[in-house]
Amino acid sequence: MTVRRLVAIIFIFACTSIAWAILGGSIAARTYTGYDAMSRLVETLWGASHTQAAPAIQLAVPGQAPMIGELESSDIRVDFHLQHRRKGLLWYATYTVAFDAKYTFRNPLTSTVVATVTFQFPSSNAIYDDFVFRVRDVDARLVGDEWGTLYTRVVLAPGETADIRLAYRSRGLDEWRYDFGPGVTAVRNFSLIANTDFGGFNFPESTVSPTTKTPTPQGWQLEWKFSNLLSDFDIGIEMPRKINPGPMASRMSFFAPVSLLFFFTVLVVIGAVWGINLHPMHYFFLAAGFFAFHLLFAYLVDHVLLEWSFVIASLVSLALVVSYLARVVHWRFALWPAGGSQFIFLVLFSYAFFFEGYTGLVVTIGAIITLAVLMHATAKVDWVEVFREKPKEPKGVEAQQPGEEGK
């Protein structure tokens, strides 16, 4: 290995890195072109995320300013069914929700009041089936406005209580929230039980964690139970997300130069130890074999499941590199270290993207192990001799082939 060849290899690495950056950018553009329009389309077909607010109560006495009424108790049951839907290169977490709530409130004054009970739809972009809004066991007369609000009025004697029944079935997207009310709100005798047919959910920011979590045969039962709570937080559930093929393929392409750098380092160092001096053109074709993985994967995910796209692209890239080096050098070098290091640095490093948050750890462990192996394998190597310029052979002498040095 001469210094000029090493510079040529570095140039090939730089050009391939630029190609990966272009590929990653094109995947990102293909993924997010029309993203807003696609998201609106999914919301139109299925519904938007829901934020269900507690009923608002206003108590009015003739001749006095109206006052805000409080709920005496809340008994709520919510059932979720999850179904992921794909549009383009993105997955969307869609769900159906069955909401059933019973509330009570009281007239705390010593005079008769007119109570206005207001219901705010959780989303204006959704459908509501089996809808019930009932006060004092009588179906309320509903009056709607352009903001998706329904309200009704009832008359309450001093100290009298009234029940509210609210129920519906609807569909939403990504997350669901229950809003106690604006600002810091007092919540008394509150119970909300949510049943899911899935796991892997999260709780959004600024939400209250459930009091208890119980696994069920279908998924989980989550319960929020409070006797006297003051909070400006909501209750919320974020639906589990599937891995999005487009963003994942884009991140893998931007990360690919790290894998190729490790691979080239192993080939250069082990080649020096074994006396195998590959030409820069060999490294060019090896880089192309690496690039083939990301190019094939990026366009397979449009038509094939993510996991199968990864397997097919990995096998194709491995076959290209290993079969090529087997002809250039020999099968022993092609399978190990070349094939083994490609499997580690390309396949395993890329597979780490399936586990969000672990990619950096996997790369760090791989780098440390690679460093340890190379340090011990080259401890006795005379690097001055390795990078010394070799005298040119006289004309007419047949050039030595890779893998024949040291024979």
Which string of DSSP letters, residue by residue, matches 93-137?
EEEEEEEEEEEEEE--SSS-EEEEEEEE-S-SSS-EEEEEEEETT
Q: Give the pLDDT confidence score for residue 43 in this predicted structure.
A: 82
Domain boundary assignment for the chain = 3-32+244-386, 48-238
Q: Give the pLDDT confidence score for residue 152 in this predicted structure.
A: 84
Overall fold of domain 48-238 = Immunoglobulin-like (2.60.40)
Q: Give the pLDDT confidence score for residue 398 in this predicted structure.
A: 46
Q: What is the pLDDT along the chain (407 residues), one digit of tens a residue?
A: 678 888 999 999 999 999 999 999 999 988 887 666 777 778 888 889 999 999 999 999 888 888 988 999 999 999 999 999 888 788 899 999 999 999 999 999 999 999 989 888 998 888 899 999 988 877 766 555 555 778 888 899 999 999 999 999 999 999 999 999 888 888 999 999 999 999 999 999 889 999 999 999 999 999 999 999 888 889 999 999 998 899 999 999 999 999 999 999 999 888 888 889 899 999 999 999 999 999 999 999 988 989 999 999 999 999 999 999 999 999 999 998 999 999 999 999 999 999 888 888 888 898 899 889 888 888 888 877 777 766 665 555 444 555 554 44
Least Cα distance to 321 among 289, 344, 346, 296 occurs for 289
- 389 burial type by CB count under 10 A (0-12 exposed, 13-18 middle, 19+ buried): exposed
Q: Which two tokens stand for residue 234?
A: 């909501």
- 362 burial type by CB count under 10 A (0-12 exposed, 13-18 middle, 19+ buried): middle
- What letter would DSSP give residue 48? -
- What letter would DSSP give residue 66? -
**Residue 138: half-sphere exposure toward Cβ, Cα within 13 Å:** 8
Q: Give the pLDDT confidence score for residue 379 in this predicted structure.
A: 86
Burial 77-112 (b: 16+ CB within 10 A, else e): ebbbbbeeeeebbbbbbbbbbbbbbbbebbbebeee
Q: Look up the pTM and report it.
A: 0.77
CB 346 within 8 A of CB 338: no
The one-letter amino acid code at 296 reads: L
| Torsion on CA atoms 362, 365, 368, 370, rounded to nearest 10 | -60
Q: Give the pLDDT confidence score for residue 358 in this predicted structure.
A: 86
